[in-house]
Amino acid sequence: MNVVAINGSPRKNWNTAILLNKALEGAAAKNASTELIHLYDLNFKGCVSCFACKQRGGKSYIERLLFQYLVYDENYSSLNKKKKKTGLIYAMNVPETMIKEVGYDLVLSHVEKAFERVMGPTESLFVTDTYQFSDYSKYVATAFNAAAKLKRREEVFPIDCEKAFAMGARLADNSL
């Protein structure tokens, strides 16, 4: 079993990367081979409707990850015959209560449904109210209580890391 994690954050050693590494540790604990790809190390840009994703060797991320399998038939079916389990990890600065208030839950549920339709079984992990800066005094971030963010980082983020580890272990399980 191969498990690949793709870090869509430009920061290679912060919240998202830490969570992805924990997921990979969980997969490795189930004897999966693992790889972490940092999207910002690659020379890619978003979809420009060039249809390169429909050609051999085309490259981009979500647009091309899913779009390449989408068939232009009446059901918009999938060319992907070998379903793959997918885990989506969202590291967000917003408090958990804002997920519903802002509508992130609805928007991101559509992303999950798109992955399920094209790739196979998909699960999401929302990590909220993350600690974004090691020194909040250097940034205009007056909406946040730095001490509370640090406390949450120390008390809740380890639990989120355990959830990411467990997700990785589930993804490495050979059964669908």
- Give the pLDDT score at 84: 86
Q: Which two tokens stand for residue 60?
A: 């981009």
- Give the pLDDT score at 57: 52
- Give the pLDDT score at 175: 63
Residues with pLDDT less than 70, the chain: 44-65, 68, 175-176
| Block residue for tokens 């189930």 | 30
Q: Collapsing DSSP states into helix, strand and coil, what is residue 76? A: coil
Q: Could you read off the pLDDT of 24-37 as tens digits, one per residue?
A: 999 999 999 999 99
Residue 2: φ, ψ to 5°? -110, 135
Q: Which domains does the chain have, with CATH numbers?
A: 2-45+84-172 (3.40.50)
Q: Which two tokens stand for residue 117?
A: 């339709």
- Give the pLDDT score at 47: 56
Phi-psi region of 102 (alpha: psi -120 to 50; beta: other; left: phi over 0): alpha
**CA–CA distance, 117 with 126 (Å, rounded to integer):** 20
